[in-house]
Amino acid sequence: MGIVRTTPRTADSVLPGLALVAAGVAVAMVVSWLQPSVSALTVAVLLGAVVANVVTLPPSVTPGIKVAGRRLLRLGVVLLGLKLVFQDVLKLGYEILLLAVIAVVVTFVVTRWLGRLLGVSEGLSLLIATGFSICGASAVAAMNSVRQQDEEDVAKALGLVTLFGTVAMFALPALFPLTGLTPAQYGVWAGGSVHEVAQVVAAAGPVTGALAIAVAVKLTRVVLLAPMLAAVSFAERLKYPASGQRPPIVPLFVLGFLAMAAVRATGLLPDVVLSAATFVDNMLLAAGMFALGTAVRLRSLIRSGPAVLLLGLLSTTVIVVLVLTGTVLIG
């Protein structure tokens, strides 16, 4: 007589959710391929939100979505390190590197302060500050992996970074003729202030001679993701000195991120490997973004009130104005 299974196997339980995530990633990648200026991550977040708000998802997809939103996302953050080219970053010069660091630190600190001033929850302001100061949706997701927040707060932060990053993506090229900046200076401005890497490419692309420096400056901000995550993780350990809640001083996926960046710096990896890694990384991050997007509830975002939207606007304004001022002063 055979044994009757009363609970589904783990592999079986995650398959429906992973299948849904895979379908969402496929659509996001196709859209990004047809429209290169549109980030697959942005599309994935939007698709996840649309699916969650248009249809009622069955409970069977929940385990797979959680796997995508945590494990696959962390793997994507690790592979993100392969996109960093330290040599290109160092060629920018210490003034521009210092400007990028100042922009990240000041935007993060000021956003946190504004969040308290506006009455935004501490966890949500942390996610917003991280995403707006460093690298958009992937930074929000990475910070949530270190210090997990309420799913609604994660969804709100992703929505805000997508909204205001898109606004900046179109606003900066429109404002460029009015600033008096050279193409190289505009590249510094775009790379230092626009949220997503793909949004930086879209913002700098229309200005001839700006794209390469914009990407290099943006990657300088991405480099700062690891120390910021480590600092927050260390602060959490201090908060729970004798508790099982203490996270590691440096999360394992952060060490993986730094290791991949070090591997890239050796110059030993052939272009075909880097291209394949970039493709896989985009899929992993898109899977995580789709999963997190399913937590977006439009009614909840609307109910969040004007304070949260104002925080997103002010945070974007801070980094845009700060980097523009610094770029002009550097000359």
Contact between 128 and 110 under an 8 Å Cβ cutoff? The reply is no
Indicate if the pLDDT at residue 246 is higher than 60.
Answer: no
Share of the chain above pLDDT 90, in %: 29
Where does the pLDDT of residue 132 fall: very low under 50, low under 70, confident under 90, or very high at 90 and above? very high
Q: Residue 5 above 50 pLDDT?
A: no
Q: Where are the domains of the chain?
A: 14-296+305-330
Q: Mean pLDDT highest for which of 69-78, 113-122, 246-255?
A: 113-122
Of 32-41, 56-65, 66-75, which range is least confident? 32-41
Of 198, 262, 217, 187, give the one whose Cα is nearest residue 102: 217
Q: Across residues 6-32, what is the average pLDDT?
A: 81
Q: Looking at residue 108, what is its pLDDT?
A: 95
Convert the pLDDT of each residue in 180-193 to its tens digit: 999 989 999 999 99
CA distance 99 to 95: 6
**pLDDT: which is higher, 318 or 265:** 318
Q: DSSP letters of 254-303?
A: HHHHHHHHHHHHHT-S-HHHHHHHHHHHHHHHHHHHHHHHTT--HHHHHH
Residue 247 has pLDDT above 70, yes or no: no
Determine if residue 9 is left, alpha or beta; phi over 0 gives left, psi from -120 to 50 gives alpha, anything else beta: beta
pLDDT higher at 215 or 311: 311
The residue among 232 and 77 whose pLDDT is bigger is 232
| Total-model pTM | 0.69
